[in-house]
Structure 1
């Protein structure tokens, strides 16, 4: 069922990434957006909601607090904590910013702290896209069109490790499996796992998806509490569930939307709820049917993680639209507490402040 209390705001730029500013104890009142496909005028923008009032209408439209020019399309945004945020672009650059000031202050702004120029490049210094970045504690991992992984120490602000030629096909997304292991996906429906403690030329695991055609994996998400379970979105709209203890694909799930998935995200506190957005303009909530599960399997320990039971997941899974399909690519989403924000190619951002969980 589509939520009726969703608000939209036209901001005049195609939104490629959107992220809530993290807050521990209360709902966040700030988020950032990164634009793309706007020639030389792409920006990182910081937005503020007016309050934490229950009346969503009072929060919209959000107030633009600050804007910082970017050297190309924004390809990823990752918060390190509630002050620092990393931003990558299609020019191979990653920058670290600090958000200074509070929402109520008229002087709140974004300040550049560090920039890593041309982290990714082709021969003769030709720039190439930084496709994705991942953050874990004091480490930052990047992948690019140059088939390269960079591991940056945020303590020293130096490239700690550079792994060349990591794939035979274009890399698409990356995440930290643990503090010392990075997992990257490519356009051949493969995942590669790297242990940063061993020689940089050695791969830990080369994981192939033999149950499907070679469909590009477009996005990746890690289960919030069961870290060894990895979820991938594909170009055909399917979600794959992987167990990294056995390096195997457990099952695939489909919503019926065959357009490419652009982002997956779990609710951080309610992992029975996963969200996806797609190139086809749909924002979906994937949920377990808890009441049915508890009534029929009160002692099923294996079923305590709903997503990995291949026999039951498809019959006890509900998939619903969070907003009405907009028929324009929704590129990014983020969840914090009971509020969700997403951004799209129709130059709008959407806010749902009362998710049904």
Structure 2
């Protein structure tokens, strides 16, 4: 596999979250605008950027680089506290979680390029004493639904037209919720510091999770989660030990596959939105990895030779025989047999400081780090 072309820009902010803006056109995924949030600063910010495509050039040493590709700040707005979660609700609306325990909705006004807060849910995450605690993550669904979770173990269900939460699950977890995402319209899954995944059906009145999944052995915190874009029963999660785990939510309560990934906590994991045979991870160790399951997929489906160039680091199957048919359509469940190999590429070699966040759209991956830089990587081999 060819190396990724890397563009780096120093932005004078430690980047905690980065997300591509969704396209206006539902038939294309192309976008050149993204949002970022910062942390560990007296004046944290939410910013909108444009990184237009440049012309591909080759230097005297034969190395490819982009000519005329320069990062443009479209707009920025102050944010009180660290940005601990950031997701687009629509093309011009951004939901932002704060270390202060609040959630804010930022609106981008394209005519003036202003970015400002249009709604805010103050202090919806707090300890029993009433003191605020960090809201650690947010997820969005449709154009009006938001869920937030925090160090208090609480999950809030928000609607942008309401000043108060639609619903609060006070004791969703007895420890910190580190990540949350929608599985379906009214179903969410969370990961927490006890190493559990919990599914909550928001249609039900009960505050109890409808499913609970756990890692084996020692309770290693799970830091992040990503849902497969087309097979919603498949999720990938990243652990505090740097291990990538793949789960089949229709099967047993344990991960299908465990893959040694990073040497430090994994902060984000992302399936490619239109080509989910590809997955990306970033870590406290300063690296970004590309996991290419397409060779495994071709072996399983019989569509190609499938001679992956990389190697599967380690894996342990907890899958029962009832899920053997699932490998037909997903390399992430097929690799449990141990016979298939997967291409694993280091897109961004270990940096001095952590890479906190990534997002992928088409062939372009964004990464934000504590080095106060934003990286744009053109990843080969993805269509």
| TM-score of the superposed pair, with normalisation by structure 1 | 0.91
Quote the Cα distance in structure 1 between the aligned partners of 2:263 and 2:163. 41
Question: Are positions 1:339 and 2:342 aligned together?
Answer: no
SS of the equivalent of 1:309 reads helix
Matching residue of 2:77: 68
Distance 1:311 1:80, change over 3 A: same
Q: Deviations over 1:301-356 (max 9, x none)?
A: 73221111243467321111112221310000011111111000111110013443
Equivalences, count: 349
Distance 1:144 1:54, change over 3 A: same
Matching residue of 1:82: 91
Matching residue of 2:316: none
Comparing 156-165 and 262-271, the one that deviates more: 156-165
Matching residue of 1:182: 188
Measure how far apart 1:59 and its partner are. 5.1
SS of the equivalent of 2:90 reads coil
Matching residue of 2:33: 30
Measure how far apart 1:196 and its partner are. 1.3
Matching residue of 1:47: 49
| TM-score of the superposed pair, with normalisation by structure 2 | 0.85
Check whether the contact 1:236–1:258 (CA below 8 A) recurs between aligned residues: yes
Where do residues 309-328 of structure 1 align in structure 2 (5 Å cutoff)?
Answer: 309-312=334-337, 315-328=340-353
Distance 1:96 1:313, change over 3 A: farther
Q: Which runs of 5+ in 2 are unaligned?
A: 57-64, 304-324
Comparing 4-13 and 230-239, the one that deviates more: 4-13
Quote the Cα distance in structure 2 between the aligned partners of 1:238 and 1:307. 14
Distance 1:53 1:60, change over 3 A: closer
Comparing 264-273 and 173-182, the one that deviates more: 173-182
Where do residues 30-179 of structure 1 align in structure 2 (5 Å cutoff)?
Answer: 30-38=33-41, 40-49=42-51, 51-55=52-56, 57-58=66-67, 60-101=69-110, 107-137=112-142, 138-179=144-185
Q: Deviations over 1:168-209 (max 9, x none)?
A: 222211111211222111111111221112224333122222
Check whether the contact 2:176–2:193 (CA below 8 A) recurs between aligned residues: yes
Comparing 260-269 and 314-323, the one that deviates more: 314-323
Quote the Cα distance in structure 2 between the aligned partners of 1:100 and 1:109. 5
Quote the Cα distance in structure 1 between the aligned partners of 2:68 and 2:361. 16
Aligned residue among 243, 246, 261 for 1:238: 243
Q: Which runs of 5+ in 1 are unaligned?
A: none
Question: Are positions 1:279 and 2:284 aligned together?
Answer: yes
Question: Are positions 1:298 and 2:305 aligned together?
Answer: no
